[in-house]
A = this chain, B = another copy of it.
Amino acid sequence: MAPRIAHLGPIELLTPRFDASLAFFVEVMGMEVEAQEGPSTYLRGWGDYQRWSLKLTAAATSGMAMLGLRATGADELGRLAQEIDAAGLGEGWHDGDLGRGDSFRFRDPDGHRFELYADCERYVPPPGREPALKSVPGRYVGRGCAVKRLDHVNLLAADVRPSRDFCVDVLGYRLYERIELDDGSEAGAWMSATIAAHELVYTRDAHGAHGRLHHAAFWVDTREECLRAADIWLDAGVQIEAAPSKHAIAQGFFLYGIEPGGNRVEVTTGGRLVYAPDEPCVVWTEAERAKGQAWGVQTVPSFHTYGTPPVDGDA
């Protein structure tokens, strides 16, 4: 099928500690404030082509309020809306969020909220702040981790399979890797709309909860920047959950931590590129996962249980 989704994002994150979360994304992660509206601030990485890729909203709890998906065009947007409605998951059309055309809302089978759109405004640097290279959306921000753009999102699902099937069958995602436990159930699914190793990931919610976020990942171009980010987080007192290392799945290089509002955030780079049109899906077994990350690091237990909003017993 022709690609229907160009890419994921923006994402809207909720935070019960708005000021601290905003300071984290601006000062520590190095994102730029693009706009402010009501309880929300719109931010972008220096390499995001849209006006914003993160909407940070003050709320009573943490978690993901909305995940944007940009359709490859207006026709695809229309077709998708129809098929999603047919699948019983549609929630109707709305005026688009900041700088965005009409948007179609829906929920995935697990209950996460999405917003599909085709049109959006590009970021235009203010006069005198144009980047030196015209193929870059904005100036490199030499501040903090200087994350470039939103890269991928990992959603927790009580049952991975229905959401994975929906993404593949309706949204047109390709399934590159997955975990199949000994009992035949699916513990995780790594999907992408492009050759990038993973854009949309579902992993099993250890608490059987619905609609929770595992993490939002922001891109840097090099592993050195991931290592540097760890130094910056350390000095800034950010809670580092997993120090920089390499995933076996998708081969991404990571740094995980918890932003002040409680949401898990990743600084990521690397990850394999999948050029083969018939690339077989890599299936990881329970025994293989027990080996830990690529270089044998055992993931900390919280990584397998914690999500936002938090649930009883895992705060």
Which residues of A are at the interface with B, using a C-beta cutoff of 8 A?
1-3, 6-7, 28, 30, 47, 49-50, 70-73, 122, 131-136, 139-140, 142-146, 177, 194-196, 221-225, 227-228, 230-232, 234-235, 237, 240, 243-246, 248-251, 270, 272-273, 275-279, 282, 284, 288, 293-297
Contact = CB atoms under 8 A, between A and B. Distances in A.
Contacts of A234: 132-133, 294-295
Contacts of A278: 73
A244 to B, nearest CB: 7
Given A224-B224, A234-B132, A288-B134, A73 B277 contact: yes
Given A134-B288, A177-B135, A282-B135, A275 B49 contact: yes
Given A135-B177, A245-B243, A6 B227 contact: no
Nearest to A274: B49
A272 to B, nearest CB: 6
A292 to B, nearest CB: 9
Nearest to A241: B296
Given A244-B245, A245-B245, A296-B240, A272 B136 contact: yes
Copies of the polypeptide in the assembly: 4
Given A70-B277, A142-B145, A243 B297 contact: yes
Contact of A235 (B131, B232, B288): B131
30 contacts: A2-B3, A6-B276, A47-B272, A50-B276, A72-B277, A132-B235, A133-B234, A133-B248, A135-B249, A135-B282, A142-B143, A142-B144, A142-B145, A142-B146, A194-B194, A194-B275, A222-B223, A223-B227, A224-B224, A224-B225, A225-B228, A230-B294, A230-B295, A231-B294, A234-B294, A243-B245, A243-B246, A243-B293, A243-B297, A297-B297
Contacts of A245: 243-245
Interface centre among A1, A234, A251 (most CB of B within 10 A): A234
The 4 A-B residue pairs with the shortest CB-CB distance in the complex, in nearest-first order: A2-B2, A243-B295, A224-B224, A6-B277
B273 A196 contact: yes
A259 to B, nearest CB: 16
A230 to B, nearest CB: 5
Contact of A222 (B49, B73, B222, B272): B222
Nearest to A135: B282
Contacts of A248: 133, 135
Contacts of A136: 251, 272
A195 B108 CA distance: 26
A147 to B, nearest CB: 12
Contacts of A28: 142
A88 B235 CA distance: 47
B134 A270 contact: no
B275 A142 contact: no
A235 B125 CA distance: 12
